Chain A
Amino acid sequence: MISLIPLFIFIPLLGFIISLLIPGKKENLLSMAAFVSVGAHFILFIIFLFYWFLNGRVALNLKEIVIYQTSNYEFYLDFYFDKITAVYLFVGSFLTFLVTIYSRAYLHREKGYKRFFNTILFFYLGYTITIISGNFETLFIGWEILGISSFLLIAFYRDRYLPVKNAVKVFSIYRISDIGLILAMWATHHLWHENITFLKLSNYELAHEHLQNHTWIGIFISLMILLTAAAKSAQLPFSSWLPRAMEGPTPSSAIFYGSLSVHLGVFLLLRTFPFWEYQLSVRIFISLLGLFTAIVASGIARVQSSVKSQIAYASIAQIGLIFIEVAAGFENLALFHFAGNAFLRTYQLLVSPSVVSYLIREQFYNFSPRAHTIEDSFPKRLEYSFYILCLKEFNLDSFMYRFFWNPFKRAGKRLDFLTVKRAFIFFVPAYLVGLVFVFNEAYIPENLHEYLPVFFALIGLVMVLKSFTERKNVQMSWLLLIMNHFWIALAISFNEHFNYSQNVLYLSGIVVCGMLGYLCLRRLKIFETNIDLDQFHGHSHKHPKIAFVFLLSCLGLTGFPITPTFLGEDLIFSHIHENQSMLALFVSLSFIIDGISVIRIYARVFLGPHVKSVYDMAYRSS
Chain B
Amino acid sequence: MKAHPSSFDEHEVIHDLKHYLPAQAPLKDFIHHNTLHAFQNQKFYEGTRNASEIFGYKVSLSLFEYRELFHQHKIRKDILEKIITDRKGIENSKVWHDKLLVNDYHHPDLPRIGALRANWKKQYKIDLDSLVHPILFRLLCSYLDQGIAIWNFPVSHKGFITSLREMESNSFTSFFRTKRAKDLLLNHDTKIEHLLKFLVGDESLYKQYLFDQQFAHQGWSGMVSAVEDQPQTLLDHKKITLHELIFFETLLEIDSLDFQFGEIWAPLSAKLSERPVGLFAPTTETELIEVLEIWQDAFEWSFYDEVLAGIELEKITTKRNTESSFQSLFCIDDRECSFRRYLEEFDPSCETFGTPGFFGVEFFYQPEFGKFYTKVCPAPVTPKYLIKEIGTTEKRETDVYFSKHSHSFHSGWIISQTLGFWSAFRLFLNIFRPSTSPATASSFKHMDRFSKLTIENKNIADVENDLQIGFTIDEMVTRVEGVLKSIGLIENFASIIYVVGHGSSSVNNPHYAAYDCGACSGRAGSVNSRVFSNMANHLKVREVLATKGIHIPDETQFVGALHDTTRDEIAFYDEHSLSPKNVLAHKKNIATFYTVLNHNSKERSRRFESINTKLSAEKIHEKILRRSVSLFEPRPELNHATNALCIVGRRNLTKHLFLDRRAFLNSYDYEIDPEGKILLNIMKPLGPVCGGINLEYYFSRVDNQKLGAGTKLPHNVMGLFGVANGIDGDLRPGLPSQMIEVHDPIRLMIIVEHFPEVVLKTIKTLPEVYEWYINEWIHLIAVNPETKKLFEFKNGDFVSYIPIKKQIDTTSNVETLTESSPENISVHLIK
Mark A residues whose CB is within 8 Å of B: 27, 94-95, 98, 101-110, 156-157, 160, 162-163, 165-166, 243-244, 246-251, 253, 294-295, 297-298, 301-314, 317-318, 320-321, 336-337, 339-348, 350-367, 369-371, 373, 375-376, 380-385, 387-392, 397, 612-622
> Shortest CB–CB separation between residue A387 and chain B, in angstroms?
5
**Cα A367 to Cα B635 with chains together (Å):** 31
**A239–chain B nearest beta-carbon distance, Å:** 13
Interchain CB contact under 8 A, B512 and A356: yes
Instruction: Please tell me if B341 contacts chain A, counting CB pairs below 8 Å.
Output: no
Knowing A344-B416, A365-B396 are in contact, say whether A157-B725 is a contact too (CB < 8 A): yes
Whether A363 lies near B154 (C-beta < 8 A) is no
- Give A294 to B408 CA distance when docked, in angstroms: 9
- Contact present for B408 and A622 (CB under 8 Å): no
**Which of the residues A246, A305, A352 comes within 8 Å of B149, measured between beta carbons?**
A305
Interface residue from B157, B371, B426 paired with A364 (Cβ < 8 Å): B371
Secondary structure call for the B interface:
loop
Contact B372 A364, beta carbon cutoff 8 Å: yes
| Residue of A107, A302, A351, A361 with most partner-chain B CB within 10 A | A351
Contact, CB under 8 Å: A365 / B369: yes
A-B contact list, 18 entries, CB within 8 Å: A244-B728, A249-B711, A305-B144, A307-B716, A308-B716, A310-B149, A314-B407, A318-B412, A352-B716, A355-B402, A357-B441, A359-B147, A370-B236, A373-B152, A619-B218, A621-B216, A621-B730, A622-B729
Q: Say yes or no: A98 contacts B406, CB within 8 Å.
A: no
- Cβ–Cβ < 8 Å partners of A364 in chain B: 235, 367, 370-372
User: What are the 7 tightest A-B residue pairs by CB atom distance, in nearest-first order?
Assistant: A340-B420, A347-B423, A357-B441, A344-B420, A354-B439, A305-B145, A314-B407
Q: Point out the residues of chain B lying under 8 angstroms from A297, CB to CB.
A: 409
Contact B150 A391 (CB under 8 A): no
Q: Which residues of B contact A613 (CB under 8 A)?
A: 107
* B589 interface hit (Cβ, 8 Å): no
B170 within 8 A of A: yes
Whether B417 lies near A162 (C-beta < 8 A) is no
Contact B371–A367 (Cβ < 8 Å)? yes
- Which B residues are CB-close (under 8 A) to A358? 399, 402, 438-439
Residues 389-422 of B, flagged 1 when their CB comes within 8 A of A and 0 if not, give 0000000101101100011110011011111110
A362 adjacent to B147 (CB under 8 Å): yes
The answer to whether B171 touches A102 (Cβ under 8 A) is no
Write out the residue numbers on chain A whose beta carbons fall within 8 Å of the beta carbon of B147.
Answer: 359-360, 362-363
With a CB–CB cut-off of 8 A, which chain A residues contact B280?
A: none
Please tell me if the beta carbons of B407 and A343 are within 8 angstroms of each other in the complex. Answer: no
Q: How far is the CA of A320 from the CA of B412 in the complex (A)?
A: 12
Partner of B409, one of A104, A298, A369, A375: A298
Shortest CB–CB separation between residue B661 and chain A, in angstroms?
20
Interface residues of B in 416-450 (CB under 8 A from A): 416-421, 423-424, 426-428, 431, 438-441, 445
> B633 within 8 Å of A by Cβ?
yes
B717 contacts which chain A residues (CB < 8 A)? 306-308, 352-353, 355-356
Stretch of B135-143, B567-575, B803-811 with 4 or more beta carbons under 8 angstroms from chain A? B135-143
A617 nearest CB neighbor, chain B only: B705
Residue of A nearest to B711 (CB): A110
On whether the beta carbons of A381 and B141 are closer than 8 Å, the reply is no
> How many Å lie between the Cα of A95 and that of B424 in the bound state?
8
B107 & A356 in contact (Cβ 8 Å cutoff): no
Task: Please tell me which one of the listed residues B57, B142, B512, B710 contacts residue A391 in the complex, with CB atoms under 8 A apart.
Answer: B142
A373 touches B151 (CB 8 A): yes
Bound Cα distance A359, B725 (Å): 20
* A interface secondary structure, majority: helix
Q: Which of A352, A380, A382, A621 contacts B729 (CB 8 A)?
A: A621
Contact B507 A247 (CB under 8 A): no
Chain B contacts of A156 at CB under 8 A? 714
User: CA of A105 to CA of B434 in the docked complex: distance in angstroms?
Assistant: 13
Question: Which B residues touch A162, using CB under 8 A?
Answer: 725-726, 728-729
Which residue of chain A lies nearest to B438 when distances are taken between CB atoms in the complex? A358
How many contacts A-B (CB < 8 Å)? 342
Is A359 a contact partner of B631 (Cβ separation < 8 A)? no
Bound-state CA distance A437–B138 (Å) is 58
Q: Is the CB of B409 within 8 A of A94?
A: no
Q: How many chain B residues touch A (Cβ–Cβ < 8 Å)? A: 119
Considering the chains assembled together, what is the distance between the CA atoms of A247 and B28 in angstroms?
A: 24
Contacting pair B408 A302 (CB below 8 A): yes
Out of A345, A351, A615, A622, name the residue touching B710 (CB < 8 Å).
Answer: A622
CB-based contact A351/B508 at 8 Å? yes
User: Complex Cα distance A118/B318, Å?
Assistant: 61
- Residues of B close to A341: CB separation below 8 A: 416-417, 420
Once A166-B726, A314-B412 are accepted as A-B contacts, the answer to whether A360 and B150 lie under 8 Å apart by CB is no
**A249 pairs with B725, CB closer than 8 A:** no
The listed residue (B151, B509, B610, B703) touching A357 by CB distance below 8 A is B509
Tell whether B119 is near chain A: CB-to-CB under 8 Å. no
In contact, A353 and B715 (Cβ under 8 angstroms): yes
Residues in chain B near residue A98, CB distance under 8 A: 427-428, 431
Q: Is there an interface contact between B416 and A360, defined as CB atoms closer than 8 Å?
A: no
Q: Note all chain A residues with C-beta closer than 8 A to B609.
A: 27, 108-109
Report yes or no: A302 in contact with B129, Cβ–Cβ below 8 A: no
B174 within 8 A of partner (CB) = yes
B456, chain A: closest CB distance, angstroms: 26
Contact A387 B370 (CB under 8 A): no
Alpha-carbon separation in the docked complex, A166 to B716 (Å) = 15
Contacts of A344 in B (CB 8 A): 401, 406, 415-416, 419-420, 423
State in angstroms the CA–CA spacing of A178 and B757 once bound together.
78
- Complex: A613 Cα to B106 Cα, angstroms: 11
User: Whole-angstrom distance between the alpha carbons of A419 and B695 in the complex?
Assistant: 54
Within 8 A of A (CB), among B732-773: 732, 738, 741
Known: A308-B716, A619-B706, A622-B729. A387 touches B409 (CB 8 A): no
Closest to B172 in A: A385
Say whether A317 contacts B713, CB under 8 Å. no
Of A356, A371, A614, A621, which is within 8 A of B152 by CB?
A371
| Complex Cα gap A169–B428 (Å) | 33
Closest to B417 in A: A340
Nearest CB to that of A301 among chain B residues? B407
Give Cα distance in the complex from A108 to B738, angstroms: 9
What is the chain B residue whose CB lies nearest that of A102?
B632
CA distance A317 to B408 in the complex (A): 8
Residue in A308, A317, A340, A366 whose Cβ sees the most chain B Cβ within 10 Å:
A340
Chain B contacts of A337 at CB under 8 A?
Answer: 413, 416-417
Task: Check B420–A306 contact: CB distance below 8 A.
Answer: no
Indicate which residue in A27, A321, A359, A615 contacts B148 across the interface (CB closer than 8 Å).
A359
Most buried by A among B62, B142, B423, B426: B423
What's the least CB distance linking B472 to chain A, in Å? 29
Q: Is the CB of B148 within 8 A of A310?
A: yes
Closest to B738 in A: A109
Whether, in the assembled complex, B110 has its beta carbon less than 8 Å from a beta carbon of chain A, the answer is: yes
Determine if B685 is an interface residue (Cβ-Cβ < 8 Å).
Answer: no
| Nearest residue, chain A, Cβ from B152 | A370
Instruction: Enumerate chain B residues within 8 angstroms of A397, measured Cβ to Cβ.
Output: 134
Q: In the complex, what residue of chain B is closest to A392 when comparing beta carbons?
A: B135
Which one of A353, A358, A371 has the highest number of Cβ atoms from chain B below 10 Å of its Cβ? A353
Q: Given the complex of chains A and B, what is the CA–CA distance between A369 and B142 in angstroms?
A: 15
* A106-B713, A356-B717, A373-B152 known, 12 other contacts, Cβ within 8 Å: A105-B632, A109-B741, A250-B715, A302-B149, A305-B142, A307-B148, A310-B149, A359-B146, A385-B173, A391-B142, A397-B134, A619-B218
Q: Are A384 and B154 in contact (CB under 8 A)?
A: yes
> What residues of B have a CB within 8 angstroms of the CB of A376 in the complex?
154
Residue of B nearest to A381 (CB): B170
Partner of A106, one of B52, B399, B632: B632
- Select one of A294, A320, A356, A365 contacting B370, CB under 8 A: A365
A385 touches B150 (CB 8 A): no
Name which residue of chain A comes closest to B62, CB basis: A616
Cβ of B148 and Cβ of A360 under 8 Å apart?
Answer: no
- Assuming the A-B contacts A298-B408, A347-B401, A357-B441, are A621 and B217 also in contact, with contact meaning beta carbons closer than 8 angstroms in the complex? yes
- A160–B725 Cα gap in the complex (Å)? 10
